[in-house]
Amino acid sequence: MIPDDVDFPALTAALLDAARSAGAQDADAVAVSASSLSVEVRDGALEHADRADGTELGLRVLVGGRQACVAASDLSPDTIRDMAERAVAMAREAPVDDALALAPADALARPGADDPLQLVDTDAAPLPAALQDIALRAEAAAAGVAGVRVVDSANASYSARRLYLATSNGFSAGYGRTSHSVSVVAITGEGTGMERDWAAEARVWAEDMPTAEELGRLAGERTVARRGARKPPTGAFPVLYDERISAGLIGHLLSAANGSAVARGASWLRECLGEAVLPAGLDLTEDPHRPRQNASRPFDAEGLPTRPRAIVQAGVLQGWTLDIATANKLGMESTASAVRGTSSPPSPGVSNVALTPGTASRDNLIRDMGRGLVVTSLMGASINPTTGDYSRGASGFWVENGQMAYPVNECTIAGNLRDMLIRITPADDLPVWRTHRVPSLLVEGLTIAGS
């Protein structure tokens, strides 16, 4: 269950009082309590178990257009006083940034005490023995797939987190979040012919998780399918990004639409506001209020109420992802997108996003691509954030005559993100439980460097 043995309202209020006494003009305080338990098994026995519990405080102060952040895990009054004095002293030496500000008091969220987003599993936290049983069942299911030589690891974990934010202009609220996760990694082959693959899922509520057996079998089947992998041909071919990794491609667009990158001039989208960046039939939306989702949140890290928004509508870029500081720099309004840790200032970040799915199945897209590459794993990256030039190591399956012919590894795919994204074709396999809900994506004419 969510840690509840700390009086967060009183603790954050004490931090703000100390900051004012030390000379801060404005301040915000964050308190986070977290508890986690992870169990890993190997060869039918417990390999490793880890438990962590703790509370951390964070304080940001604003002094004359300057800011500083400090954090501590000691909750004593002396530490709170020292944090405030140290933060104010640091802020007075920091450079001036006129864009810094707290949210206007009349714009702050007014969350209630209930949990409308259902971010906390109300069942009791799993015991170590229960997590070990889940991990063992997942391992056994993977090992039972013909062709799996060994299960490298099987892990089951649970975490509970409670966050509280208070600001010197009147905001004071918090929320909790739980997470259940299972992961399995299997290996097939020997020596230089060894291949591995995996399956993993995470949910806020345990009852929404797939079974351990389902995940184990999936990891085993994915692994066995990779036996005999070799390099693909070199040339320009269509590439289909499997839904396992397609969110990473859309993630490059989200990074380029981040107000921090735009304000620095380090975004290949910086001149594209109001222009087509995806095909005309596609929307890319954000919805922080999706129930039982790992990234949902009732308010952002500056106390503003979160809300659904369109990032791309009918293929056209609608706006940037902004916190207060980046919005002020760009002459816009915050999109209530601030995220932060206890030791860092707010910065823009997205929560739940979804791309419009297509009407064709993944298999039909593979059939229609004729000859090309289905990518199921990406590694390394060479991305130029200013130009959008893109190059990544990849593995997956080679397609001949519309059929997957053999597994591939040790190849590189390259292109330019602006050109790639404007001609994507989505499949209909939109994943329901992902933070970034992105279906498989077909991209025409990428350069593949293989044999």
pLDDT in tens, 344-380: 999 999 999 999 999 999 999 999 999 999 999 999 8
What is the pLDDT confidence band of residue 451, given thresholds at 50, 70 and 90? confident
- Tell me the average pLDDT across 100-110: 95
Judged against a pLDDT cut of 90, whether residue 434 lies above it is answered with: yes
- Output the average pLDDT for the chain: 95
Supply the pLDDT for residue 292. 96
Judged against a pLDDT cut of 80, whether residue 295 lies above it is answered with: yes
The closest alpha carbon to 139, from 118, 115, 156, 160, belongs to 156
The rounded distance, in Å, linking the Cα atoms of 84 and 21 is: 8
Supply the pLDDT for residue 325. 97
Give Cα separations from 8 to 16, 22, 31, 77, 89 (angstroms): 12, 21, 7, 14, 25
**Tokens read off for 175:** 């929320």
What is the pLDDT confidence band of residue 140, given thresholds at 50, 70 and 90? very high
Supply the pLDDT for residue 191. 84
Supply the pLDDT for residue 2. 56
Q: Set out the domains of the chain in order of their start, with CATH numbers.
A: 8-223 (3.30.2290.10), 229-451 (no CATH)
Share of the chain above pLDDT 70, in %: 99
pLDDT in tens, 174-213: 999 999 999 999 999 988 889 999 999 999 999 999 999 9
Helix (H), strand (E), coil (C) string for the chain: CCCCCCCHHHHHHHHHHHHHHHCCCEEEEEEEEEEEEEEEEECCEEEEEEEEEEEEEEEEEEECCEEEEEEECCCCHHHHHHHHHHHHHHHHHCCCCCCCCCCCHHHCCCCCCCCCCCCCCCCCCCCHHHHHHHHHHHHHHHHCCCCCCEEEEEEEEEEEEEEEEEECCCCEEEEEEEEEEEEEEEEECCHHHCEEEEEEEEECCHHHCCCHHHHHHHHHHHHHCCCCCECCCCEEEEEEECCCCHHHHHHHHHHHCEHHHHHHCCCCCCCCCCCECCCCCCCEEECCCCCCCCCCCCECCCCCECCCEEEEECCEECCCECCHHHHHHHCCCCCCCEECCCCCCCEECCCCEEECCCCCCHHHHHHHHCCEEEEEEEEEEEECCCCCEEEEEEEEEEEECCEEEEEEEEEEEEEEHHHHHCCEEECCCCCCCCCEECCCEEEEEEEEECC
What is the pLDDT confidence band of residue 4, given thresholds at 50, 70 and 90? low
- Tell me the average pLDDT across 35-56: 95
Share of the chain above pLDDT 90, in %: 95
The predicted model scores a pTM of 0.94
Supply the pLDDT for residue 233. 95
- Tell me the average pLDDT across 158-169: 96
Supply the pLDDT for residue 285. 98
Contacts of 191 (CB under 8 A, 6+ apart): none
